[in-house]
Amino acid sequence: MIKVVLLGAGNVAIHLAKAFDKAKNINLVQRYSLSNTNDGYFDGSIPTTHDISTIYKADIYVIAITDDAISTFSDQLNHIDGLIVHTSGSIPLTVLKNLSRSGVLYPVQTFSKEQEINFDHIPIAIETADEKDMDLLKSLVGSISNKIFEINSLQREKLHLAAVFANNFSNYMFTISREICKVNNIPFDILKPLIYETAKKVQTLNPIQAQTGPAKRNNKEVIEKHLSQLNGEQKEIYNLVTRSIIKKYNQKEK
């Protein structure tokens, strides 16, 4: 049985708590959070503290707080001798260098409070400062997911950058799409199956092969018509992404 203390109250903490709760060989002994804003999202039976000096002894301490606060917050944990891991994609392991045993457990997923998530299929990138802690972290992570990837801080930084394009920027394309619909009194619902299929397609197909549309076909007439209907940043983004797609597919043909 691996004893875990979870530190945090945000979306990642909410979903990790559920996954730890469900896992047979994990005992979530306590949760720490600064505020009690999200307490309702957690199983009430998990002992909770708002005072860092009262945290229990555990095998692993999982920090699931906002990126910017990890470094400062971890300084308060330097008396602890368990393994302390953060859960951020963009923060290197070295920010925990003042701790005796440290690591990273980065679930590569986007979390919302309300949306249920099945952790089994969520890829989790892991790293430890000391190779000796790897087995412990692996057995924790292996209890909640069957997709574990050992990745160093440099690779994780790149992975996080790739995730920004895959998630943040694609979501922003959906936002612009919805804005165009709204201005023109078109229900955004019409586009939802298309969005779903776009993501489904690249589960099995390389996105290079999945690309369609006027930019890929270098259909100048349609592109010009589209540009004439856009303004400001929407137009800039259309123009830049289109030019980039045209270039990519023309290069390929050479």
Closest approach of Cβ 162 to a second copy, in Å? 4
Rounded Cα distance between 35 and 54, Å, is 15
Q: Is 191 exposed, middle or buried (0-12, 13-18, 19+ CB in 10 A)?
A: middle
Nearer to a second copy, 53 or 203 (CB): 203
Pick the closest to residue 42 from 8, 6, 17 (CA basis): 17
User: Please, what is the minimum distance in Å from the beta carbon of residue 221 to a second copy?
Assistant: 8
Cβ 77 to a second copy shortest distance, Å = 22
In the complex, minimum distance from the CB of residue 95 to a second copy, in angstroms, rounded to a whole number? 12
Q: Which residue's structure tokens are 């860092």? A: 52
Residue closer to a second copy, measured from CB, 120 or 130: 120
Residue 54 vs 229, nearer CB to a second copy: 229
Tell me whether residue 134 or residue 176 sits nearer to a second copy (CB atom): 176
Return the number of the residue (19 or 58) whose C-beta is nearest a second copy.
19
Rounded to the nearest whole angstrom, what is the least distance from the CB of residue 22 to a second copy in the complex?
A: 18
Return d(Cα 251, Cα 20) in angstroms, integer. 48
